[in-house]
Structure formats: structure tokens, C-alpha cells
Structure 1
Amino acid sequence: MRIIILSVLLTLCMAATATAQGGLVSVRSNHSVQATADRLELALKEKGITIFARIDHAQAAREIGQNLPPTQLVIFGSASIGAVLIERSRSMGIDLPLKALIWKDPAGQVWFTYPAPDELARRHGIVEMDEAIGNLQVMLSDLVSMVTMP
């Protein structure tokens, strides 16, 4: 319970720099897209969280002659959290492992966007917000603050 309370407090502190839309949370980053993605990879490795892929959408667009602002997707997960959630709702496996999209908007602001854990739970019929959802929220909140803050 203490973990969930700490997570809520951290989320409230970040509210001034975060927006939510369509089940996604976007938090402003104080770093470039590249630096934010690099910081995310480092934080994931330090926490022992598996990195499945890092996709540079802008690079892929350049390869076909298109121009896309810096946009990177990092796919990552923790079996100790994910397995519990998938056991509760098999359809959760479509949204796990987690994804973080790091992108630059037209005004030049960099954003770190990830799925809101409570929305994932609702989407997959997990109605009671329990320890597994709390652990996921804490993990994401920790990562976001480590990666986006100065």
C-alpha cells in the first residue's frame, strides 16, 4: 500500500509536465529524443529489466525518403510483473511487454509516452487495482523520473 501511495504522490508531482490522452501518459523530457532513449536503456539495465527492442522510426522513415521528427520506441518488460498480469488476464499479453515512445513535437518539446497502467488494467478486465498494477505504476513512475528529469 505504501508503494501505491508513493507512486500517486510522484505522479501528482509530475502532473504539471504530464498529459494523458487515450490511455497514454506523456511526460515532458528535459533531454533530446536520443538522450532520453539512451537514459531509458541505462535505467532499464540498472533495474534488471529486459530490453526487447529499440526502434528508431525517424531513421526508418529516412530510409524510404520520408522525413519524420526524432521518434524512438523502446520495448521492455519485467517478467515478475508481466507474468502476474497475464495470468490474471491473458489478453494483457497483447500490451506486454511495455512500450515507451520518445518523440519530438512540432514545437521542439520532447515527450516520453507510455501506457497508463490503470487503463491497461481496465482494458483487460482487471477491475481491482491490486499490488501488480501498483508495482507496474511504481516501476513506470521511477523510470519516467529517472529518464526525463535533469
Structure 2
Amino acid sequence: MMADNGLITIQSRFGVTETIDRLVETVQRAGLLVFARIDHAAGARDVGASLRPTELLIFGNPKGGTPLMQDRQLAGIDLPLKALGWEDEQGKVWLSCNDPHWIAERHGLGDASRDAVNAMAGGMGKVIASAAGTSQP
């Protein structure tokens, strides 16, 4: 696991598409909603450019995110949660997401949001580890 600028990154044992497929399955099984899936590499191909496999999944649950936005509405810029599956120059696949504690710090969320942020962080760690086929970060 790597952490940088509020990002949590773990290596996946699977290709990008399979990693994101596994993430979809995992978040839905956890009762979360999938709002969007964006294939950045396909978008690049559409404009005649190349990009290594890169897919973004946007997911969450209004029950978890709404309290954060009630605390500081601007937190909505970082919600719902996102995870990016991407392949590096060596062909390794990674899964990256924002650390919910970083989101809380970025927006100056108060004590009222602490439980929701902690629950979000714990849940995020579990779903990305499951999708990547690794132990929890």
C-alpha cells in the first residue's frame, strides 16, 4: 500500500477491468450504489490518443455521505467516493482512492462527522482490498 496526497493505493492481482468488475460486485454486495463507471482509456481511443488501461468507479451511499455534506456542504466535491484502477508503465495494476480521513481534513469536518468518516474509511479499506485480491491496507 502506498499513501500520497490523501490517496491510498494498493496493487491489484488482476487486470484493470477485472479489478473494477470485482469492485462493482463488492460495493453492491456491501449495499452501496454504483453511480458511474468511466473507462478513460476508451475515451482516449475515441479521440485518437492512447492511454494504458484506466477505469474510474464512482460509488457510495447517501446515508454515509449526506452527514459529511450537512457538516460542510463543499465536501460534496469529493463525494460520492471514487476508486481508480490503472496500469503503470511496467504493466502492474493498481487501485487508488481518496482516504476518507483526508477528505475530512480537507474540508475541516467537525466532530459530528467523525463516526461517518471512520465508518467510510473502514469500509473503503475493505472493499478496495477485496477488489484487488489483497489483505486490507
Q: TM-score, normalised by structure 2?
A: 0.92
**What are the equivalent positions in structure 2 for 1:55-66 lying under 5 Å apart?**
55-66=38-49
Counterpart of 2:109 in 1: which secondary structure? coil
**What are the equivalent positions in structure 2 for 1:69-148 lying under 5 Å apart?**
69-128=52-111, 130-148=114-132
Asked if 1:149 is matched to 2:133, the reply is: yes
Distance 1:55 1:105 in 2: 18
Asked if 1:68 is matched to 2:51, the reply is: yes
Distance 1:71 1:23 in 2: 19
Q: Give, in angstroms, the shift of residue 127 of structure 1.
A: 4.9
Q: Identity, % of aligned pairs?
A: 37
Distance 2:69 2:89 in 1: 37
Q: Give, in angstroms, the shift of residue 22 of structure 1.
A: 1.2
Structure 1's unaligned 5+ residue stretches are: 1-17
Distance 1:85 1:92 in 2: 7
Distance 2:63 2:10 in 1: 25
Structure 2's unaligned 5+ residue stretches are: none
**RMSD of aligned Cα (Å):** 1.2
Distance 2:28 2:128 in 1: 14
Distance 1:131 1:45 in 2: 22
**CA offset digits 1:56-108 (Å, max 9, x no partner):** 00011111111100000001111111011111111111111111110000011
Q: TM-score, normalised by structure 1?
A: 0.85
